[in-house]
Amino acid sequence: MIVEYLGPLGYREAWRYQQKVHDLVLGGGEDRLLLVEHSPVITMGRRPGVAKNMVASAEQLAQMGVEVVETDRGGDITFHGPGQIVAYPIIRLANHQLTVGGYVHTLEDIVIATLVKLGFVGATKDAVAVGVWIPDGNALAKVCAIGVRIRKGVSMHGLALNVDTDLRYFELIVPCGLTGRGVTSLKKLAGDRVTEIEAVKKMLVEHFCARFG
């Protein structure tokens, strides 16, 4: 697997690059993992009725400098922004004997293994909500959102792990369309323990490479 660190990059530019890499992998190139940190953006998936989960007005979005993009991934609505690790694996599922559902669960497993290695206990899946959840106070909160698209057997889009993300942005939406479910970050969970985004990124890459080579 080729790992590319794209650094800070606008969502639309990263999406165009994903499409380019997708064509390369589809044509026989090696699997790739793209890592990026987006400027503030709300993305909407293909799920019907997703627009109703936008809480903010156009004026609020403009004041906070948040872009809105309709995408071709699965899932509902979410936020990407600084302090968040966004990972886009571009892989041929058949090479790894994965169904679409199996691939999504593999992404969840990779994130959970990463968090456990970093000392965050209690990270788990939810039987009715895709993503990774972790205890925050008296309830489970989402720490990692997942939304993918599989085109011609090759994956696009991926996951977003909140490391040092400003959680106030999530108040602009109903995250993933799940009313009453919280969103958290590793920084919020860590307390006084320092959580460096580069250390989290390194561990995440190690687990991706261990699974996909």
Active site residue 144: no
Give the range of the structural domain holding residue 60, as residue numbers without chain letter.
Answer: 2-212
Q: Decide if pLDDT at 144 tops 90.
A: yes
Closest residue by Cα to residue 76 from 53, 105, 108: 53
Could you tell me how many helices (H) and strands (E) the chain has, helices first? Answer: 5, 11
Q: Decide if pLDDT at 40 tops 80.
A: yes
Task: Report pTM.
Answer: 0.95
- The domain spanning residue 168 has which CATH number? 3.30.930.10
| Joined tokens for residue 164 | 């040092």
How far is residue 127's CA from residue 123's CA, in Å, rounded to a whole number? 13
79-119 pLDDT, tens per residue?
Answer: 999 999 999 999 999 999 999 999 999 999 999 999 999 99
Catalytic residue among 42, 115, 141, 176: 176
Query: Which pLDDT does position 192 carry in this prediction?
Result: 62
How far is residue 155's CA from residue 153's CA, in Å, rounded to a whole number? 7
- Grouping H, G, I as helix, E, B as strand and the rest as coil, residue 102 is helix
- Grouping H, G, I as helix, E, B as strand and the rest as coil, residue 86 is strand
How far is residue 187's CA from residue 191's CA, in Å, rounded to a whole number? 7
How many folded domains does the chain comprise?
1
102-113 pLDDT, tens per residue?
Answer: 999 999 999 999
| Joined tokens for residue 34 | 């793209």
How far is residue 157's CA from residue 12's CA, in Å, rounded to a whole number? 12
Q: Does residue 62 or residue 196 have the better pLDDT?
A: 62
